[in-house]
């Protein structure tokens, strides 16, 4: 099998793209030499394949054309040659061969690299050319929801995965506060003013976008030093593989103390964000006409480039989820023009990469969008059509009024755990966008808020980035089920076909979150609607369970068994919830107590046991990695608080309560279950006292349970406990009949 359904076409595939070429982007090319990139991709291959790396001859040779290509061929001595136009192209050529000819798989939850000996021979040379210039990765939020506690070892793995997936453009946002710290000091802010401005590590994404400040900080000296070093390692590796790192730029926000230093300056206080009050939000935006705007932008850019070098792409988001002071097109143009000018005054070949998320808001009517986009010369900015998997913005902006854009799959909010996907849309969207009249599309990308969930949709989307026509999804997922576990198993294939028809096939309505009652503060009004037929999920559960006797030794299989069991338990929790409500409305005390008991003392603890048996689902891991980055006990406690608060209350008062919910071992037992217990006991009291359920009062007592979780110091294991296969089997035998009773 070959990528993108090209099995019969083992010949030159040329870029038949309708894409409008932008000469303004021609300078965005890797700076590393062919030799450097060759060495980097060879090292990647050794990390990935160990002693089998010698079976591959990897070479990078820059092309004359812009497009990225790779060429695969079998050598007479049995080795396989991979020639790429960049380190990334060579790495994705390697992965294409491993995937399509050797049945291998690399993902966040594990690897399956059982290589045949000798390597399968290619019938002839295979050339693949990417249909677009860029394959982009990252969302500004992923730095907080997923990357925040990472060390270099974890980053190295991610960058390898990025290269294998063909990512050639990605944010590099780590460590920017260390640069701001220098700029603020030289502007005259005191260290105390800086400390009271910065947020804690788990919230940096929103401080960077001017959404919030001052919450859960300060950042210590050691944090900044550590992140600065990490950023150097990240940049060095990305560049050596021929990826273009995107650095931050000044978007116009200044700390409150700026007003003390420059009382005459024209600074606008923006409105609040995310239900936070003005102690933590309502940022200050400097007037774009103020000379300080250019001065601060210049100071930051100079300091940044001096420290990190540059690849000429910069990211800035001035109005992300924030309403501009005025809708006057002239005002909007002047702001984007000022942001762009502040980039180009230091780097004349700067390209501004901007998230198109803001255009999802009704403030942005055609005249406003056009004004903002035309404040920058055409071709000098790239828009990320961030949520194109659900609501593509290119459609209602005439392809961003001529500015180049990247079609992105957002897929995930807050790093939530649930199974979710829009596989039909992502298998269609990029091709439609490319064929759109006068399309300015220059790439595809993935922009999840959080990662390490739903491996399958990311693998699919990354592959689509190299395709010129849609894939056959049932065929693709059949092969996925085999590659992922290294063995063909009919049960697993059936399960995956069912999952692709159901949880991964949302074609009905927008479902941006895990809405499951399991992970939300109880009330009598929770949403239990689904976009799929639950019979399909339960049936997939059965088939995965049956496959366990053959596939138990595969790490990725065990992960999927946990995930599909977890998703089934999540559905059962909704059933319990509906039944609890019914018992309450029927005034059945016995019903409430029986159901409550079964949910709180059986189902949820069983789920906690299951999750605790897999290293990818551990609260303890999240907390321990947070603590491990601290230089002092005080910092360790602060980081742990950041880590606990983000996944639960999200803010001092539950401002974005449960937005970043997770289903993790430890969290079910000590956060979700106590809250459900409180709910059931409150309903019982209401029945006994013959009073209605009072949500406002419940919110108050629930907050105490939630807050207790964010401040207590209970330790959770950082290593899995128990045998996944046995626990999953026990749960299947116990709960599957219940699931069947509900359906029938």
Ligand X SMILES: *[C@@H]1O[C@H](CO)[C@@H](O)[C@H](O)[C@H]1NC(C)=O
> Where on the chain is the footprint of ligand X (CB under 6 A)?
266, 277-279, 287, 289, 423-424, 437-438, 472-475, 478, 500-501, 505, 507, 533, 535-536, 652-653, 670, 705, 708, 712, 714
Nearer to ligand X, 238 or 649 (CB): 649
Q: For the chain, how long is the longest CA-to-CA vector?
A: 85
Token representation of residue 115 = 């290589």
Collapse the DSSP code of 351 into the 3-class scheme (helix H, G, I; strand E, B; otherwise coil) and give the result. strand
Least separation in angstroms between residue 288's CB and ligand X is: 7
Q: Are strands 126-129 and 110-112 parallel, antiparallel or unpaired?
A: unpaired
Least separation in angstroms between residue 711's CB and ligand X is: 9
Nearer to ligand X, 342 or 478 (CB): 478
Distance in angstroms (rounded) separating the CA atoms of residues 249 and 297: 7
Distance in angstroms (rounded) separating the CA atoms of residues 71 and 57: 11
Least separation in angstroms between residue 287's CB and ligand X is: 4
Nearer to ligand X, 28 or 493 (CB): 493
Least separation in angstroms between residue 478's CB and ligand X is: 6
Nearer to ligand X, 507 or 597 (CB): 507
Least separation in angstroms between residue 725's CB and ligand X is: 27
Least separation in angstroms between residue 682's CB and ligand X is: 14
Token representation of residue 425 = 């849309």
Distance in angstroms (rounded) separating the CA atoms of residues 98 and 95: 5
Least separation in angstroms between residue 221's CB and ligand X is: 26
Nearer to ligand X, 350 or 423 (CB): 423
Distance in angstroms (rounded) separating the CA atoms of residues 635 and 220: 8
Nearer to ligand X, 175 or 255 (CB): 255
> Please, which residues bridge with residue 497 across strands?
none
With a CB cutoff of 8 Å and minimum separation 6, the contacts of 744 are none
Q: Which of 543, 427, 551, 432 is nearest to 493 (CA)?
A: 543
Quickly tell me which residue has 């105390």 as its tokens: 192
Nearer to ligand X, 191 or 712 (CB): 712
Nearer to ligand X, 127 or 650 (CB): 650
Distance in angstroms (rounded) separating the CA atoms of residues 222 and 243: 28
Collapse the DSSP code of 433 into the 3-class scheme (helix H, G, I; strand E, B; otherwise coil) and give the result. helix
Least separation in angstroms between residue 521's CB and ligand X is: 15
Least separation in angstroms between residue 344's CB and ligand X is: 21
Least separation in angstroms between residue 146's CB and ligand X is: 25
With a CB cutoff of 8 Å and minimum separation 6, the contacts of 388 are 394, 407, 408, 409, 410, 429, 433
Nearer to ligand X, 438 or 529 (CB): 438
With a CB cutoff of 8 Å and minimum separation 6, the contacts of 136 are 167, 169, 170, 384, 406, 408, 443, 444, 445, 446, 447
Nearer to ligand X, 84 or 324 (CB): 324
| Count of CB atoms situated within 10 Å of the CB of 614 | 24
Nearer to ligand X, 331 or 693 (CB): 331
Ordered DSSP codes for 173-238 = -TTHHHHHHHHHHHHT--HHHHHHHS--GGGHHHHHTTS--SSS----HHHHHHHHHHHHHHHHHH
Distance in angstroms (rounded) separating the CA atoms of residues 139 and 231: 17
Least separation in angstroms between residue 410's CB and ligand X is: 19
What backbone phi and psi angles, to 5 degrees, belong to 337? Answer: -65, -40
């Amino acid at each position: 099998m070959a990528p993108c359904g090209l099995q019969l076409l083992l010949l030159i595939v040329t870029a038949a793209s309708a894409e409008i070429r932008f000469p303004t982007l021609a300078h965005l090319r890797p700076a590393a030499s062919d030799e450097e990139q060759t060495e980097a991709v060879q090292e990647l291959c050794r990390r990935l394949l160990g002693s089998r790396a010698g079976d591959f001859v990897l070479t990078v040779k820059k092309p004359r054309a812009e497009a990225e290509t790779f060429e695969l061929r079998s050598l007479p001595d049995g080795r396989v040659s991979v020639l790429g136009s960049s380190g990334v192209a060579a790495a994705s050529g390697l992965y294409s061969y491993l995937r399509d000819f050797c049945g291998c798989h690399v993902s966040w939850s594990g690897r399956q690299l059982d290589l045949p000996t000798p390597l399968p021979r290619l019938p002839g040379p295979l050339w693949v050319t990417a249909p677009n210039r860029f394959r982009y990765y990252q969302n500004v939020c992923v730095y907080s929801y997923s990357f925040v506690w990472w060390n270099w070892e974890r980053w190295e793995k991610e960058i390898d995965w990025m290269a294998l997936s063909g990512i050639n453009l990605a944010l590099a946002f780590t460590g920017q506060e260390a640069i701001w710290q220098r700029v603020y000091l030289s502007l005259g802010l005191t260290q105390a003013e800086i400390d009271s401005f910065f947020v804690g590590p788990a919230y940096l994404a929103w401080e960077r976008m001017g959404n919030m400040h001052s919450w859960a900080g300060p950042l210590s000296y050691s944090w900044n030093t550590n992140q600065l070093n990490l950023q150097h390692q990240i940049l060095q590796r990305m560049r050596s593989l021929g990826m273009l790192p995107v650095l931050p730029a000044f978007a116009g926000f200044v700390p409150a103390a700026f007003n003390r230093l420059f009382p005459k300056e024209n600074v606008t206080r923006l409105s609040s964000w995310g239900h936070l009050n003005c102690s933590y939000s309502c940022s200050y935006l400097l007037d774009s006409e103020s000379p300080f705007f250019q001065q601060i932008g210049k100071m930051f850019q100079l300091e940044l480039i001096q420290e990190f070098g540059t690849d000429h792409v910069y990211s800035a988001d001035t109005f992300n989820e924030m309403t501009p002071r005025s809708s006057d097109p002239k005002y909007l143009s002047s702001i984007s023009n000022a942001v762009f000018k502040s980039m180009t005054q230091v780097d004349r070949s700067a390209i501004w990469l901007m998230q198109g998320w803001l255009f999802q808001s009704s403030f942005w009517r055609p005249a406003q969008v056009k004004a903002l986009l035309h404040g920058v010369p055409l071709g000098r900015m790239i828009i990320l059509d961030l949520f194109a998997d659900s609501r593509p913005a290119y459609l209602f902006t005439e392809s961003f009024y001529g500015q180049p854009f990247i079609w992105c799959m957002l897929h995930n909010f807050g790093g939530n755990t649930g199974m979710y996907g829009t596989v039909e849309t992502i298998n269609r969207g990029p091709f439609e966008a490319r064929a759109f009249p006068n399309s300015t599309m220059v790439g595809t990308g993935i922009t999840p808020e959080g990662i390490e969930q739903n491996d399958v949709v990311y693998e699919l989307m990354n592959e689509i980035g190299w395709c010129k026509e849609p894939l056959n999804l049932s065929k693709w997922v059949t092969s996925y089920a085999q590659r992922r576990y290294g063995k063909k198993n009919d049960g697993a294939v059936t399960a995956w076909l069912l999952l692709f028809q159901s949880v991964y096939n949302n074609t009905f309505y927008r479902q941006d979150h895990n809405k499951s009652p399991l992970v939300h503060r109880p009330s009598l009004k929770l949403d239990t609607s689904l976009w799929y037929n639950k019979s399909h999920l339960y049936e997939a559960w059965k088939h995965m369970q049956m496959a366990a006797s053959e596939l138990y030794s595969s790490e990725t299989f065990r992960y999927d068994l946990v995930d599909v069991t977890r998703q089934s338990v999540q559905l059962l929790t909704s059933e319990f919830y509906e039944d609890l409500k019914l018992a309450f409305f029927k005034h059945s005390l016995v019903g409430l107590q029986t159901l409550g008991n079964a949910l709180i003392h059986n189902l949820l603890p069983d789920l906690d046991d299951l999750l605790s048996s897999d290293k990818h689902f551990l609260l303890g891991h999240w907390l321990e990695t947070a603590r491990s980055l601290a230089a002092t006990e005080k910092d360790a406690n602060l980081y742990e608080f950041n880590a606990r608060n983000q996944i639960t209350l999200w803010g001092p008062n539950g401002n974005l309560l449960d937005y970043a919910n997770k289903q993790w071992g430890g969290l079910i037992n000590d956060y979700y279950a106590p809250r459900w217990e409180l709910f059931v006991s409150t309903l019982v009291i209401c029945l006994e006292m013959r009073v209605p359920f009072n949500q406002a009062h419940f919110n108050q007592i629930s907050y105490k349970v939630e807050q207790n979780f964010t401040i207590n110091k209970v330790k959770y294991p950082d290593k899995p406990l128990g045998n996944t296969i046995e626990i999953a089997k026990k749960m299947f035998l116990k709960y599957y009949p219940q699931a069947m009773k509900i359906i029938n």
